[in-house]
Amino acid sequence: MKHVSILGYGTVGSGVAEVLSVNRGRIREGSGVDVEVSHILDLRDFPGDINEDKIVHDINDVLNDPDTDIVVETMGGTGAAYEFTKAALEKGICVCTSNKALVAAKGPELMKIAEDHGVRYLFEASVGGGIPILRVLKTCLTADEINGITGILNGTTNYILTAMEKEGREFNDVLKEAQDKGFAERDPSADVDGFDAARKIAILASLVTGKNVDWQKVYTEGISEIQPVDFKYAKVLKRRIKLLGAFRKTPKGAYVAVSPFMIPCGDPLSMVDGVFNAISVDGNMLGESMYYGQGAGMLPTASAVSADVVDLAVKGGDGDRYEWSGDDSDVVDFSSTRRRFFVRVSEEKKQDALKVFRGTEEVGAALTGEYAFITTEMSEKSFDEAASAIGGVIGRIRLDI
User: Using CB under 8 A, which residues numbered 107 to 136 contact a second copy?
Assistant: 124, 130-132, 135-136
State CA 379 to chain mean position distance. Answer: 26
**β-strand partners of 35:** 2
Nearest to 380 by CA among 150, 143, 221, 186: 221
SS3 57: coil
Task: Confirm or reject binding of residue 309 to a second copy (CB under 8 A).
Answer: yes
| Region from 193-201, 279-287, 334-342, 347-355 binding a second copy, contact rule CB under 8 A | 279-287
* Least Å from the CB of residue 85 to a second copy: 21
Site string for a second copy, 142-171 (x = CB under 8 A): xxxx--------------------------
Select which of 2, 106, 200, 242 is catalytic. 200
Q: Does 366 bind a second copy (CB under 8 A)?
A: no
Q: Check if the beta carbon of residue 254 is closer than 8 Å to that of residue 291.
A: no
Number of helical H runs and strand E runs in the chain: 14, 20
Q: Quick one: 145 or 361, whose CB is closer to a second copy?
A: 145
31 vs 224 by CB, closer to a second copy:
31
349 is catalytic: no
- Three-state secondary-structure class, residue 157: helix
Closer to a second copy at the Cβ: 59 or 163?
A: 163
| Only segment of 80-88, 227-235, 306-314, 354-362 that touches a second copy (CB under 8 A) | 306-314
241 Cβ contact partners less than 8 Å away, ≥ 6 residues apart? 161, 165, 226, 230, 231, 234, 260, 261, 262, 397
DSSP state of 145: -
Q: Interaction with a second copy in 249-268: which residues (CB under 8 A)?
A: 268
Q: According to CB under 8 A, which one of 293, 349, 378, 394 is a site residue for a second copy?
A: 293
Binding range to a second copy, per CB under 8 A, among 14-22, 39-47, 58-66, 228-236: 14-22
How many whole angstroms separate alpha carbon 110 and alpha carbon 86?
7
Q: Name the DSSP class of 139.
A: I
Nearest alpha carbon to residue 261 among 149, 199, 340: 340
Instruction: Kindly list the catalytic residues.
Output: 200
The contact set with a second copy (CB under 8 A) reads 18-20, 22-23, 26-27, 29-31, 124, 130-132, 135-136, 139-145, 210, 268, 271-272, 283-294, 297, 299-300, 302-304, 306-307, 309-311
